[in-house]
Structure 1
């Protein structure tokens, strides 16, 4: 399996698991940690373009 696919799948699984938690049963500090983790995972994107914005693949094959 492609490394990017594995990483994306793992992030998806982590976010799915966090979304299944019954946060109402956790204390306030844990609720904040869960919400922060959800936010960070949602912000992650394997499809982020390079800073120059040209959209080209930057990987070099030898």
Structure 2
């Protein structure tokens, strides 16, 4: 459970940092990279949450 919490926290922190960037001051290539990273992290965040909004384990146990 602690691992899932850490992963969710890291995703949240990275998204927060990306959202705080002043993308208007970036060049077009960097702006595109930030938008792509933001979109991918939001997808991962949605995939790792269960229907009730609680972080779920996205990794298969081996």
Q: TM-score, normalised by structure 1?
A: 0.73
Which structure shows the higher helix fraction?
2
Higher relative contact order (CA 8 A, sep 6+): 2
User: How far apart are residue 47 of structure 1 and its match?
Assistant: 2.5
**Structure 1: 4+ residue segments shifted above 6 A:** none
Larger Rg: 1
Aligned pairs, number = 52
TM-score w.r.t. length of structure 2: 0.73
For structure 2, which runs of at least 5 residues remain unmatched after alignment?
52-59
